[in-house]
Chain A
Amino acid sequence: MSQKLFFVAPPPKVDPARLFGKLIVIEGLDSSGRTTQVSLLSDWLEQQGFAVIQTGLKRSELVSESLEQAKKGNVLSPRTISLFYATDFYDQLENRIIPSLKAGFVVIADRYIYTLMARDILRGADKEWLKILYSRAIIPDAVFFLNVDCNALLDRTLQSRGRLDYWESGMDIGCAREWYDSFMIYQQNMRMEFRKLHKEYHFNVINGNRTQKTINTELKKKVEQLLEK
């Protein structure tokens, strides 16, 4: 069972028959505890003897720097940002995820195309357009969605950083004049988008309102089952 499936087809020059590793995606809204779970899971897997590599969004060598700069200036149109992120995604897919899977690694992705799609849909992108854009991506072996309610997200954001972030509050869309209101509306809308995506892509939903440890225990159990297959 090493053959990986792609949403429609692999990118040019990629042979799907030689991808032996596993691709595990952790999805969730901002401050839902994803990053903590990714690192706990990686540590645990490595202790079990699995070679692990982590990936995420905006980490490609190719464009992450320019993308960061562009976001600071808030000068790019939503569609340009979409394509910039798609470039970043495929750069990591082809230069990091695929080579790692070939080498038999467990790849843990801190977010995947689902966050990219949800964000872009809220900014007016056409869903079909996005689906074709990302149709060359690998279908993950599992997608865990950390489901946290918005009040808890707000709490965690404020506690860890002491302020709200421009993009996480959807200020670029103009949901509301007040940052607080905008944050709540934006995160609610993101949750709704994820719920729709869940219907289509069948995430493994994890109740993220519990303690880190409880969540981690559940994740480990599920990942264990996956790796035994």
Chain B
Amino acid sequence: MKNEKNGEEIKGKLIAVEGLDGSGKSTQIHLLYKWLFGNGYKVFFTEWNSSDLVKESTKKAKKRQLLTPTTFSLIHATDFTDRYERQILPMLKAGYIVLCDRYIFTSYARDQVRGCDPDWLRNIYQYVILPDIVFYFQLPLEVSLSRILDGRPALKYFEAGMDMNLSPDPYMSFRLFQGRVKEQYELMVEEFHFTVIQAELLILQQQEKMKEIVKSKINLSLYKKGVM
């Protein structure tokens, strides 16, 4: 992988999972991590929206429901950039396999649905290295909705897309919002060469498939602990 900005060779590999809430992507990336770690590979895992420094602001902002599409996007970009420069990029340069639960495509999908301009969004993340593999967990909208909604959870304001005034009912709003986010993901499959995983398959089958793809695209022997 090359960092195209300065032509520098990057030893590490970057794998991201993307998909709707309820698509099972977090489960799968967790299992992949366990497998790589357990087999003695240098691997690092990181989640969207988890930088310590920015977390406080993000939490406060969401609670106060004062975010606009623009500030929603920027506050997540700030959080991501902190993590990217502090963890993801150094890990990649140090030759780790970095696993990301959601990457910039989450912002592209959600923020575009909220009305942000696609070119403006792509500019923000222009400095970012694209993953070697993006697993996209694809499944019918109804299935992912029922996985989330069947338990009648308390939906958070922004998670349900309530800021978009799609419906006064959080559950209906969530359905409509997720439907639009899914459309955006589907549009990106080709543009960013997503590897599509059928998320209706058994968990075990999905995991086998992912391992196969990882093995075919990455020479894992280079990433054994102790190998420089």
Q: Which residues of A contact B (CB under 8 A)?
A: 9, 11-13, 61-63, 65-66, 70, 75-77, 79-80, 83-84, 86-87, 90-91, 94-95, 129, 132-133, 135-136
Contact = CB atoms under 8 A, between A and B. Distances in A.
Nearest to B114: A12
A83 B86 CA distance: 15
Nearest to B51: A80
B123 A90 contact: no
A147 B61 CA distance: 37
B68 A13 contact: yes
Nearest to B56: A66
A90 B78 contact: no
A13 B69 contact: yes
Nearest to B116: A12
B77 A83 contact: yes
Contact of A62 (B75, B85, B123): B75
B39 interface: no
Interface in B109-134: 114-117, 119-120, 123-124, 126-127
Contacts, number: 85
A129 B69 CA distance: 19
A11 B69 contact: yes
A12 B68 contact: yes
Contact of A80 (B56, B71, B81, B114): B81
Given A63-B75, A66-B54, A129 B126 contact: yes
B27 interface: no
B159 interface: no
Interface of B: 53-54, 56-57, 60-61, 64, 66-71, 74-75, 77-78, 81-82, 85-86, 114-117, 119-120, 123-124, 126-127
21 contacts: A12-B68, A12-B69, A61-B64, A61-B66, A62-B71, A63-B75, A66-B54, A66-B56, A70-B53, A79-B85, A80-B54, A80-B82, A83-B124, A84-B54, A84-B78, A90-B71, A91-B71, A94-B70, A129-B126, A133-B124, A136-B70
State the majority secondary structure of interface residues on B: helix
Output the residue of B56, B82, B124 with the most chain A CB within 10 A.
B82
A79 B81 contact: yes
Contacts of A86: 74, 78
A94 B68 contact: yes
Contacts of B53: 66, 70, 75-76, 80
B139 to A, nearest CB: 29
Given A80-B78, A80-B85, A11 B70 contact: yes
Given A87-B71, A94-B68, A132-B123, A77 B115 contact: no
Given A66-B53, A79-B127, A132-B120, A94 B115 contact: no
Contacts of B82: 76-77, 80
Contacts of A62: 57, 60-61, 66-67, 71, 75
A13 B115 contact: yes
Contacts of B115: 12-13
